[in-house]
A and B are shown apart, each in its own frame.
Chain A
């Protein structure tokens, strides 16, 4: 057999095999169950000629043709109109302590009804909830849980707040906003746990409807965002600034410290200096311990000295409330008064042992402690 003949034969085999596997899979999909998805018109998009649309909910600004979905996988262009497929389709519903989000300066000791739908607008290799966030809504089990029912459920379970969490709530923006408005009507609070990868316009509207936002800042380097998050750092920093400057919404920042990837003292220092310059010393900053997950499940967990070093850097840069997360019993879980150094809120895990804050002030030195305490 000469070379040409060989290439022809192997190429032919490859082509036949490839085509048949593909059609085999397509058949599987075609016979799958019809998914029960929502068809509620999405917001923050503009129509383009030829039934194309451009979504400007998040900085990806996906430009989509007919029948195409955005990067998040939960918003689809159907015949030139953009729809959210997950409105009212909750795939996780739990009652969690608010400290688990974590919010440390927002209604301590309270319970938060926590909900999520499928989808995310980034792809972190260390996602804790990848089975929900990295799939399409038709691949996931969800229940119909419209805004009014969410609010009723929260009231029934004695939850003073509703938390939009686990996956990326930005991708179920419409559902989150409508639920928040319903919740506000009956006096419930709304909290958002987000990666902060959102455009300014939708963010401005969001901060009007919710009471607290926790932003997961994954790193302070664009390189990390490119490699491990598949997103951009700058829009997240912009979002943090916007939230910090908005009145009536409480902000906390979480930085998941992953050994050797985003734990260098210089990076932490830059982050802290940025916080000091742009936001001020009062935003609570949590350095959370990484537990190996998803595609990085074979990385070692973060050594505790790494977290302690990060915390020390932040404190020496002047940030007032710096915490260590996911290390129960560590002194870095508790809140200390930045002025008199006394213990204000003693935490072990999600349990609050002691609160020495009265009317938002330190019981010892009477200085005001930022946060929404009751």
Chain B
């Protein structure tokens, strides 16, 4: 078969594989960098993530569906590649400087509407042309869609692996995007580009190199009028250091992790718990400690601290900028630092602690939420001595507890109460939760007595402040508020607290959209799960009565997009719950899904004469896998099984894609529709799964509903077979 013989002068067999491979490679690497930057500048909670990934998939799908239905000139084809490679860094620049357009300060929360507009507008620039390219590639391979899909998924899995394992640990997001751009533009120019494009090639190359080198200066500009000292994109996020007078502030993804000196935060995160047990010897600190927390613990003469921090860069950067007085503390023989996931550490340790201090950000994401669940509290209780104290802090409101904050606080309180018989909460602009198996006192006189007895020199948790902070009226007010809330239990597989946190976060913004989540929190299962199921069945019935065959090929494809993305999210969340946030394993989890897609597609292509029965079997396979996943999550599964599951879902997805498209294309030559529907299905899943469905209904219920959706789809296929 001869492809492009006349217009392409250097025709190698590579032309069959390079453009679609590059498409997958670019699509996934760009998606990773885009999501990382977007989360950093628009505050990465689950909703942001869902909206951003959702927009990306939406435009990819629409690009594919709305792509031209004819073969454009070859020049145009390669120009789109050049265009995407050029536009991607531009979109990252626009994203970084978005604050000047929407008039917010560095570090200020932009509204939800600006976030939606930005994610839609910027992903349109990149993902839409990538969707079009999928279809154009198919035209260039004479309609050999399976070949395009196979190479695209291979490109995506290799791109994903390279970015996660080799680029992110070394380069910043901008540098990484520039590197991928340079690599890709060279591939385009030297393989299927044309000499005519030499000027364009050189221009883009120079632009990319400049883009990669201007990363830090552009961040400095972003932070003006603040002084940015250092910035580093670590695998876990963007760590930045700011200086204001004598004060250093460390930021993680634009969220302030700590300021130094900030005695108020340091003291309150430590002393309310330590003063319950001032003779504590074994103290565990999970999360920020270097900004002042450790120094506070060391005020207690017997205390020895196991300090667990996930991101080693965080401590390295802190040490570089903090005064020697603070960093020398790290060398104190009473401090032992562990660079690990806090939950994984607590799971494994055989030690029993007197005090466990959880000093992490509030549960704003599923990633952090697993430190605030009933299961985690249970682990903490088991690793505590009988008179041990467990504590964490969340930002709050001193004078008024809004219904949204009440739901959030009461879920944390009720969850602690499930595990610990004694739970008390300190009022104020920060609420400190204290839990124990033994009595806890919030009596200011008693605490003041201990402060004097142990000669603890404090400024904020001090005899001068405590009588007001712990005034019985304030304590009572907060207790009444918390105990009259909804008191939903936050569990690993039903992470309701982070949903309530998102609701609370959304109420900060003015306008109708800020109330959507709040209203949805009152929503019933019927409207969010049953109604879409009924709607789906009605659509199936509607299609069933039509004479066309195509819905029987396309509906499973769209449902596959939805199912696989939700399963990916479910598996990643479960993996983190069981094994912690292990950066490399999570990268490999994504890669195993992509590899599954690739192998499944290869397998599908190798089938001779695939028929409708294949779709039927694949659909049954999905249901079987979902049921197995449901059973699998009732235990603590072996680590490798997570990879097997994702690979299997990927395999079925890739296989279905090839078969469905093969059958569909026999009836209609629309190369983009199948791919587009797959992405639109994924769009719905990405948008709603982690921001709404998982926290509200939990992983098990969501899997049950996925089984139902897939079963109805199977019945629909039976109907199709019967009709035939």
Q: Are A and B physically bound partners? A: yes
Interface residues in chain A, defined as those with a beta carbon under 8 Å from any beta carbon in chain B: 1, 6, 9-10, 22, 25, 28, 91-92, 94-97, 100, 114, 116, 123, 125, 128-132, 134-135, 140-141, 166, 227, 259-261, 291-301, 303-306, 328-329, 348-351
Shortest C-beta distance, A95 to chain B (Å), equals 6
Shortest C-beta distance, B119 to chain A (Å), equals 15
Which one of B458-466, B639-647, B656-664, B694-702 is at the interface? B458-466
Which one of B100-108, B201-209, B328-336 is at the interface? B100-108
Contact residues in A for B69 (Cβ distance below 8 Å): 1
Contact residues in A for B68 (Cβ distance below 8 Å): 1
- Number of residue pairs spanning A and B whose beta carbons lie under 8 angstroms apart: 132
Q: Which of A123, A130, A294, A328 contacts B459 (CB 8 A)?
A: A328
Q: 20 other contacts beyond A1-B69, A95-B473, with CB at 8 A cut-off?
A: A28-B519, A92-B400, A94-B477, A131-B401, A132-B400, A132-B402, A135-B507, A166-B399, A259-B245, A291-B429, A295-B104, A296-B105, A296-B108, A298-B108, A298-B109, A298-B254, A299-B108, A328-B464, A350-B465, A350-B468
Known pairs A28-B519, A131-B397, A131-B405; A295 contacts B508 (CB<8 A): yes
Known pairs A300-B247, A303-B247; A140 contacts B402 (CB<8 A): yes
Between B399, B402, B429, B519, the greatest number of chain A beta carbons within 10 A of the residue's beta carbon is seen for: B399
- CB pair B399–A94 under 8 Å, yes or no, is yes
- CB pair A349–B244 under 8 Å, yes or no, is no
- CB pair A129–B245 under 8 Å, yes or no, is no
Contact residues in B for A293 (Cβ distance below 8 Å): 429
Known pairs A140-B402, A296-B105; A129 contacts B255 (CB<8 A): no
What are 10 A-B pairs with beta-carbon distances under 8 A?
Answer: A94-B474, A95-B473, A140-B402, A295-B109, A301-B247, A301-B259, A303-B247, A305-B246, A328-B459, A349-B465
Shortest C-beta distance, B272 to chain A (Å), equals 16
Contact residues in B for A305 (Cβ distance below 8 Å): 245-246
Give the distance in Å from the alpha carbon of A293 to the alpha carbon of B261 in the complex: 18
- CB pair B226–A260 under 8 Å, yes or no, is yes
- CB pair B468–A129 under 8 Å, yes or no, is no
Contact residues in B for A131 (Cβ distance below 8 Å): 397, 400-402, 405, 507
Residues 236-274 of B contacting A (Cβ, < 8 Å): 242, 244-247, 249, 251, 254-256, 259, 261-262, 264
Give the distance in Å from the alpha carbon of A293 to the alpha carbon of B397 in the complex: 10
Give the distance in Å from the alpha carbon of A192 to the alpha carbon of B190 in the complex: 74
Known pairs A10-B62, A94-B399, A131-B402; A299 contacts B105 (CB<8 A): yes
Give the distance in Å from the alpha carbon of A130 to the alpha carbon of B185 in the complex: 50
Between A227, A295, A300, the greatest number of chain B beta carbons within 10 A of the residue's beta carbon is seen for: A300
Would you give the 0/1 interface string for B64-83, flagging 1 where the beta carbon is closer than 8 Å to chain A? 00101100000000000000
- CB pair A303–B244 under 8 Å, yes or no, is yes
Considering the complex, give the chain B residue whose CB is closest to the CB of A118: B400
- CB pair B508–A97 under 8 Å, yes or no, is no
Contact residues in A for B220 (Cβ distance below 8 Å): none
Contact residues in A for B512 (Cβ distance below 8 Å): 22, 25
- CB pair A298–B429 under 8 Å, yes or no, is no
Contact residues in B for A166 (Cβ distance below 8 Å): 399-400
- CB pair B399–A129 under 8 Å, yes or no, is yes
Give the distance in Å from the alpha carbon of A166 to the alpha carbon of B399 in the complex: 8
- CB pair A306–B245 under 8 Å, yes or no, is yes
Contact residues in B for A303 (Cβ distance below 8 Å): 244-247
- CB pair A260–B225 under 8 Å, yes or no, is yes
Give the distance in Å from the alpha carbon of A123 to the alpha carbon of B468 in the complex: 29
Considering the complex, give the chain B residue whose CB is closest to the CB of A306: B245
Contact residues in B for A10 (Cβ distance below 8 Å): 62, 66
Known pairs A10-B62, A260-B225, A296-B107; A351 contacts B245 (CB<8 A): no
Interface residues in chain B, defined as those with a beta carbon under 8 Å from any beta carbon in chain A: 62, 66, 68-69, 103-105, 107-109, 225-226, 242, 244-247, 249, 251, 254-256, 259, 261-262, 264, 395, 397-403, 405, 429, 459-460, 462, 464-465, 467-468, 471, 473-474, 477, 507-508, 510, 512, 515-516, 519
Across the A-B interface, the 7 shortest Cβ-Cβ residue pairs = A298-B107, A303-B245, A348-B464, A131-B402, A300-B249, A303-B247, A349-B464
Known pairs A296-B107, A299-B105; A129 contacts B400 (CB<8 A): yes
Considering the complex, give the chain B residue whose CB is closest to the CB of A99: B468
- CB pair A295–B468 under 8 Å, yes or no, is no
Contact residues in A for B245 (Cβ distance below 8 Å): 259, 303, 305-306
Known pairs A28-B519, A260-B226, A298-B254; A116 contacts B108 (CB<8 A): no
Considering the complex, give the chain A residue whose CB is closest to the CB of B103: A227
- CB pair B109–A297 under 8 Å, yes or no, is yes
- CB pair B462–A141 under 8 Å, yes or no, is no
Q: Which of A25, A95, A261 contacts B519 (CB 8 A)?
A: A25
Give the distance in Å from the alpha carbon of A141 to the alpha carbon of B481 in the complex: 11
Give the distance in Å from the alpha carbon of A125 to the alpha carbon of B109 in the complex: 10
Considering the complex, give the chain B residue whose CB is closest to the CB of A289: B264
Contact residues in B for A132 (Cβ distance below 8 Å): 399-400, 402
Considering the complex, give the chain B residue whose CB is closest to the CB of A350: B468
Shortest C-beta distance, A21 to chain B (Å), equals 8
Give the distance in Å from the alpha carbon of A143 to the alpha carbon of B11 in the complex: 80
- CB pair A299–B107 under 8 Å, yes or no, is yes
- CB pair B255–A298 under 8 Å, yes or no, is yes
Considering the complex, give the chain A residue whose CB is closest to the CB of B516: A25
Considering the complex, give the chain B residue whose CB is closest to the CB of A264: B225
Give the distance in Å from the alpha carbon of A315 to the alpha carbon of B464 in the complex: 27
Give the distance in Å from the alpha carbon of A328 to the alpha carbon of B264 in the complex: 10
Contact residues in B for A227 (Cβ distance below 8 Å): 103
Give the distance in Å from the alpha carbon of A1 to the alpha carbon of B462 in the complex: 72
Shortest C-beta distance, A312 to chain B (Å), equals 14
Give the distance in Å from the alpha carbon of A97 to the alpha carbon of B467 in the complex: 11
Between A10, A260, A304, the greatest number of chain B beta carbons within 10 A of the residue's beta carbon is seen for: A260
Contact residues in A for B429 (Cβ distance below 8 Å): 128, 291, 293
Contact residues in B for A130 (Cβ distance below 8 Å): 508
Contact residues in A for B477 (Cβ distance below 8 Å): 94
Give the distance in Å from the alpha carbon of A25 to the alpha carbon of B255 in the complex: 31
Considering the complex, give the chain A residue whose CB is closest to the CB of B465: A349
Considering the complex, give the chain A residue whose CB is closest to the CB of B468: A350
Contact residues in B for A300 (Cβ distance below 8 Å): 226, 242, 244, 247, 249, 256, 259
Considering the complex, give the chain B residue whose CB is closest to the CB of A326: B264
Contact residues in A for B398 (Cβ distance below 8 Å): 128
Shortest C-beta distance, B113 to chain A (Å), equals 12
Considering the complex, give the chain A residue whose CB is closest to the CB of B62: A10
Considering the complex, give the chain B residue whose CB is closest to the CB of A294: B508
Give the distance in Å from the alpha carbon of A292 to the alpha carbon of B474 in the complex: 22
Known pairs A94-B473, A227-B103; A298 contacts B251 (CB<8 A): yes
Shortest C-beta distance, A191 to chain B (Å), equals 16
- CB pair B402–A349 under 8 Å, yes or no, is no
Contact residues in A for B519 (Cβ distance below 8 Å): 25, 28
- CB pair A297–B473 under 8 Å, yes or no, is no
Considering the complex, give the chain A residue whose CB is closest to the CB of B460: A328
Contact residues in A for B397 (Cβ distance below 8 Å): 129, 131
Contact residues in B for A291 (Cβ distance below 8 Å): 264, 429
- CB pair A92–B399 under 8 Å, yes or no, is yes
Give the distance in Å from the alpha carbon of A260 to the alpha carbon of B66 in the complex: 49
- CB pair A351–B259 under 8 Å, yes or no, is no
Considering the complex, give the chain A residue whose CB is closest to the CB of B256: A298
Give the distance in Å from the alpha carbon of A135 to the alpha carbon of B508 in the complex: 9
- CB pair A328–B400 under 8 Å, yes or no, is no
Q: Which of B244, B246, B402, B464 contacts A260 (CB 8 A)?
A: B244
- CB pair A9–B399 under 8 Å, yes or no, is no
Considering the complex, give the chain B residue whose CB is closest to the CB of A100: B468
Contact residues in B for A260 (Cβ distance below 8 Å): 225-226, 244
- CB pair A116–B399 under 8 Å, yes or no, is yes
Contact residues in A for B264 (Cβ distance below 8 Å): 291, 301
Q: Which of A25, A100, A125, A329 contacts B108 (CB 8 A)?
A: A125
Contact residues in B for A97 (Cβ distance below 8 Å): 468
Give the distance in Å from the alpha carbon of A94 to the alpha carbon of B398 in the complex: 10
Contact residues in B for A1 (Cβ distance below 8 Å): 66, 68-69
Give the distance in Å from the alpha carbon of A6 to the alpha carbon of B62 in the complex: 10
Considering the complex, give the chain A residue whose CB is closest to the CB of B510: A134
Give the distance in Å from the alpha carbon of A300 to the alpha carbon of B244 in the complex: 8
Shortest C-beta distance, B557 to chain A (Å), equals 20
